[in-house]
Amino acid sequence: MAGFDDVADVLEVTGSLDAPLDVRDGVDRETIETVTAMAGKYKYGWDTEIEMDFAPKGLSEDIVRLISAKNDEPEWMLEWRLAAYRRWLKMTEPRWAMVNYPDIDYQDIYYYAKPKSMAEKPKSLADVDPKLLATYAKLGIPLKEQALLAGVEAADQPRQVAVDAVFDSVSVGTTFKAELAKAGVIFCSISEAVREHPELVKKYIGSVVPPSDNFFATLNCAVFSDGSFVYIPEGVRCPMELSTYFRINAENTGQFERTLIIAEKGSYVSYLEGCTAPKRDTNQLHAAVVEIVIQEDAEVKYSTVQNWYPGDENGLGGIYNFVTKRADCRGDRARVMWTQVETGSAITWKYPSCILRGEGSQGEFYSIAIANNAQQADTGTKMIHLGKNTRSRIVSKGISAGRAQNTYRGLVSMHPKATNSRNYTQCDSLLIGDQCGAHTVPYIEVKNNSSRVEHEATTSKVDEDQLFYCRSRGMDEEEAVALVVNGFCKDVLQALPMEFAMEAQALVAISLEGSVG
Amino acid sequence: MAAPQAKLDALAARIAGLSFPVAGWLGAARADALDRLAAMGLPGKRDEYWRYTDPAALTGAVPLAAALFDESDEAVAFSGIDRVKLVFVNGVFDTAQSDDPALAGVEIEHLADAGAADIHWAREVYGVLETRGQTPVQRPLATLATAFATGGLLIRATGKAAKPVSLIYLQGSDTSDVILHHCIKVESGAELTLLENGNAAARLTMVMEVEVAAGGRFHHIRAQGRAHQRHAATHVFARLGAKALFKSFTVTANGALTRNDAVIELVGDDAVAHVAGAAVGDGAFHHDDTVFVTHQGLRCESRQVFKKVLKNGATGVFQGKILVKKGAQKTDGYQISQALLLDDDSQFLAKPELEIYADDVKCSHGSTSGAIDDTALFYLRSRGVPEKAAQSLLVLAFLAEAMAEIDDADIAEDIRARLESWLARHEH
């Protein structure tokens, strides 16, 4: 294995834009036509020519130390990482999910890459590598308050969105800092938080997803490179939606994001996460951890649109997405809402969970998971009811097409002390074509009698009558399927913030492209 | 992959002192089972398939003692039904207490007698369906029964049976450890009703393999013994041909531990399989229904209906799965598991699964858990029904959907009366 000194700053500059597409899709027909015209090519499949600064491939204590040093971390953070790394060495990769993939060689992955131009930290967005900004523009990210606010701000108090963009492993630009600071909200990269707010990070990191949690989370603890940190002080309603766009860029670079959100008493925040990744032939590993701490009467909404590169029609390439997301409703009446639209990745392994500890706390999970071609998704949630009068609701819509396998896996657990609690679960699966699979694996554990738990699941195919009706109104088959599927997903789409809902709707159509006829 | 040493050690301890006759086709089938068993070992509580039920009492070298239980406070199960009684005491067939098997109008033979023959229909069934049922999930206790069964019947119906065949399992000692293995074949167009009841043993390990040929009809109604301390692991493996009908209903009242596996394959087109259960438990009661239904034929229908009423720390488990294989189009699969928890000490643990590889199907499952509906209780009381009677009424209503799976009205009435008397004895 290459030692630390062999680094020789590998520069990987490859590829170019293969299709100059317009960005930021609306839900209109034009989008669908555009994508159809691309005949199954992944829409965001380019990569940007930005110099990457790599650590050598493979994982060792040296790499962990390097990552920590590159982020200028204090000693305690490094120790925490090393402890996780040593624990990880003794763990085995979980294989219980209904996904098949070749063994991952953890020594054949880069654990650190950052855009070269970041060596000098930009003072403002103006200093940011213009190519980077152009990349974001292609992705339709309203990073520079550009499209989003320039055009809209004049109109009566538009909704604002702050973006903490993560390009590969380092947060390159955080907008709206001033306005957020005025409200007392801290929104920055986690590496910055480790330096600037060590007391908060130290107190909360690993308190929801402990370093011993699971193989991928432990790996993340050891090598997380960057991610977002959000702190909403007591009684503050975050003045805008917070948004992070992730984008894996360099080939063979695993991305290990770590997000920590803390909502103090009576506060509120809505957090958006969306991602796309460029087309590559080698599988890329992504093992993120998201921790959310919610105190008394606070509320957090976490919305995700996940559109990592799913691999080609034969399943070649594509992202392996092994994510641990968990919210801890620590205070009474705390509320959390996970909403996810999962359309990308070759493999998805993701179970955003709610620990309902506070009395009367509430967890919700709304999910759309679409698997097409050779994609495999095993996703769901865990609702762990510990406190009295807790409520949870799960609405999961799984869509399988092509040769894809889509599994809902969930846990609802009512502990003996969680009296008078309530859960409602609905998971519906839709099959498009006879080569795909849809599976439901719920675990239901009820240990008191005053709680009510209801679970229902259905599996069916796209309704012929509905399709026929759409066709008779002049739609082509693909449009008709997109419309019917969007209707099937309606319950979840409605739970998304406005701008995400639009994008998600378009994504649903795009993801199913090529699945009919 | 070799089984962990602990599982192999458990197996070695469990089968120490057990042996089987090696002659004939049956000896070969048993030897094959032993080979398979040696590769698997016995289940452990860390196995995913034993997530909610600790198999220790079923896998231990010796059974936990179960005191003989006096059931004379209610009528013997199925006593009002005209049937052919075949009695096992401690797993050994008791000719004196049994009726003449010939009266049933079907072929009935003992495992030990038939095993020596060169050619026998049971060769195509014994251990064969059980083996098929080992994929994708291992069921070593079934394999154990294939290898080491000390008794069992081979029943073959070639026409409509004259009477139901009623298997009665009497427990003769408080340490009895019984292993049984039955094979049943319902030939094309034939029909058979099989009844089972009794405590059987301190520990019972049992397999019943049922082959229902095209157009055959098989009804199975079982009343498991209510001895408080008994432990039982039962398995039903069924394979259905085209247009075959399979219906199985089990009522379980008490028992320290009951694990009922049902593994059903709908191979032919247009086959129908219904599996249902009603379990009522009070106190140290652990009841586990584990069902695996595989759809392979076209236009098949399956139903799983399981209801559990639990109190005083009773635990109810349901693990159900519908697997629809590629090409099994027009499948109609339904599964419901519900628990009524009468107090806070009881628990319900469920894993209702769907695994579907065909698109033109209609599959659904539901699972609920909760207490008696206060509004319904209030309504009945407002109509002058005393509280306890109102509660029993609501419990019976809750169980009704499962009871509806019994086709024969007299048998259904017998089961209903048993549940009612159980409720009367176990009122708050």
User: What is the interface pTM, i.e. ipTM, of the complex?
Assistant: 0.89
Q: State how far the Cα of B305 lies from the Cα of B283, in Å rounded to an integer.
A: 23
Q: Given an 8 Å threshold on Cβ–Cβ distance, is B343 in contact with A449?
A: yes
pLDDT computed for residue A176 by the predictor: 65
* Helix intervals (H) in B214-292: none
Q: Given an 8 Å threshold on Cβ–Cβ distance, is A444 in contact with B348?
A: yes
pLDDT computed for residue A160 by the predictor: 54
Other Cβ atoms within 10 Å of A239 Cβ, number: 14
What Rg value do the Cα atoms of chain A yield, rounded?
Answer: 22
Contact between residue B354 and residue B325 where contact means Cβ atoms under 8 Å apart: no
With beta carbons under 8 A apart, name residues in chain A contacting B355. 437, 439-440
What is the identity of the amino acid at A249?
N
Q: Is B368 on the interface with A (CB under 8 A)?
A: yes
Q: Where are the domains of chain B?
A: 5-372
Residue A289 has pLDDT above 80, yes or no: yes
pLDDT computed for residue A278 by the predictor: 53
Question: Which has the higher per-residue pLDDT, A252 or A446?
Answer: A446
Confidence at A54, pLDDT banded by 50, 70, 90: low
Other Cβ atoms within 10 Å of B19 Cβ, number: 10
pLDDT-wise least confident of A128-142, B3-17, B46-60: A128-142
Residue A138 has pLDDT above 80, yes or no: no
Confidence at A80, pLDDT banded by 50, 70, 90: very high
Average pLDDT, chain B: 95
Q: Given an 8 Å threshold on Cβ–Cβ distance, is A440 in contact with B359?
A: no
Other Cβ atoms within 10 Å of A19 Cβ, number: 13
pLDDT-wise least confident of A121-135, B103-117, B279-293: A121-135
Confidence at A409, pLDDT banded by 50, 70, 90: very high
Q: Given an 8 Å threshold on Cβ–Cβ distance, is A448 in contact with B362?
A: no
Residue A153 has pLDDT above 50, yes or no: no
With beta carbons under 8 A apart, name residues in chain B contacting A435. 326
Residue A216 has pLDDT above 60, yes or no: yes
Q: Report in angstroms the alpha-carbon separations of B334 from A98, A126, A423, A458, B135.
A: 22, 60, 21, 9, 22
The residues with which A348 forms a beta bridge, in sequence order, are: A321, A377
Other Cβ atoms within 10 Å of A6 Cβ, number: 9
DSSP output for A269-329: EEEEEEEE----SS-EEE--EEEEEE-TT-EEEEEEEEE-----TT--S-EEEEEEEEEEE
Q: Given an 8 Å threshold on Cβ–Cβ distance, is B359 in contact with A432?
A: yes
A87 by DSSP, 3-state: which?
helix
Average pLDDT, chain A: 79
Nearest Cα residue to B247 out of B278, B281, B210:
B210
Residue B27 has pLDDT above 90, yes or no: yes
Confidence at A148, pLDDT banded by 50, 70, 90: very low
Residue A226 has pLDDT above 80, yes or no: no
Counting every residue written for chain B, the total comes to 428
Q: Given an 8 Å threshold on Cβ–Cβ distance, is B366 in contact with A457?
A: yes
With beta carbons under 8 A apart, name residues in chain A contacting B342. 449
- What pLDDT digit, counting tens, does each position of B141-174 carry? 999 999 999 999 999 999 999 999 999 999 999 9
pTM: 0.86
CA A460 to chain B, closest CA, distance in angstroms equals 5
CA B358 to chain A, closest CA, distance in angstroms equals 5
Confidence at A2, pLDDT banded by 50, 70, 90: very low
Residues belonging to chain A with any Cβ–Cβ distance to chain B shorter than 8 Å: 96, 414, 416, 419, 429, 431-461
What are the structure tokens assigned to A181, written together?
């600071």
Q: State how far the Cα of A217 lies from the Cα of A466, in Å rounded to an integer.
A: 43
Of the partner residues A431, A438, A454, the one whose CB lies closest to the CB of residue B368? A454
**For the residues B386-411, what does the mean pLDDT come to?**
95
Contact between residue B200 and residue B168 where contact means Cβ atoms under 8 Å apart: no
Q: Is B214 on the interface with A (CB under 8 A)?
A: no
- What pLDDT digit, counting tens, does each position of B251-287 carry? 999 899 999 999 999 999 999 999 999 999 999 999 9
CA B250 to chain A, closest CA, distance in angstroms equals 23
Counting every residue written for chain A, the total comes to 517
pLDDT computed for residue A217 by the predictor: 95
Residue A178 has pLDDT above 80, yes or no: no
User: A interface mutation test: which of B353, B361, B372 has the most A CBs within 10 A?
Assistant: B353
Q: Given an 8 Å threshold on Cβ–Cβ distance, is B356 in contact with A439?
A: yes
Q: State how far the Cα of B269 lies from the Cα of B296, in Å rounded to an integer.
A: 8
Q: Report in angstroms the alpha-carbon separations of B370 from A4, A411, A420, B78, B308.
A: 59, 17, 10, 32, 11
Q: State how far the Cα of B346 lies from the Cα of A391, in Å rounded to an integer.
A: 20
Confidence at A32, pLDDT banded by 50, 70, 90: very low
First-last CA distance in chain B = 51
Of the partner residues A96, A440, A446, the one whose CB lies closest to the CB of residue B369? A446
Q: Given an 8 Å threshold on Cβ–Cβ distance, is B341 in contact with A446?
A: yes
Residue A34 has pLDDT above 70, yes or no: no
pLDDT computed for residue A503 by the predictor: 73
pLDDT computed for residue A75 by the predictor: 94
Q: Is B48 on the interface with A (CB under 8 A)?
A: yes
Q: State how far the Cα of A312 lies from the Cα of A45, in Å rounded to an integer.
A: 10
Residue B318 has pLDDT above 90, yes or no: yes
**For the residues A159-172, what does the mean pLDDT come to?**
53
Confidence at A156, pLDDT banded by 50, 70, 90: very low
Phi/psi of residue A22, nearest 5 degrees: -75, 160
pLDDT computed for residue A242 by the predictor: 85
Question: Which has the higher per-residue pLDDT, A487 or B211?
Answer: B211
Of the partner residues A419, A444, A457, the one whose CB lies closest to the CB of residue B350? A444
What are the structure tokens assigned to A454, written together?
């209801």
Q: Given an 8 Å threshold on Cβ–Cβ distance, is A434 in contact with B326?
A: yes
Residue A279 has pLDDT above 70, yes or no: no
pLDDT computed for residue B279 by the predictor: 96
pLDDT computed for residue B116 by the predictor: 79
What is the identity of the amino acid at B409?
A
Confidence at B236, pLDDT banded by 50, 70, 90: very high
pLDDT computed for residue A165 by the predictor: 56
Contact between residue B323 and residue B294 where contact means Cβ atoms under 8 Å apart: yes
With beta carbons under 8 A apart, name residues in chain A contacting B294. none
Phi/psi of residue A341, nearest 5 degrees: -120, 110
% of chain A exceeding 90 in pLDDT:
45
Nearest Cα residue to B230 out of B71, B86, B47:
B71
Q: Given an 8 Å threshold on Cβ–Cβ distance, is A457 in contact with B369?
A: no
CA B264 to chain A, closest CA, distance in angstroms equals 19
pLDDT computed for residue A3 by the predictor: 30
pLDDT computed for residue A257 by the predictor: 87
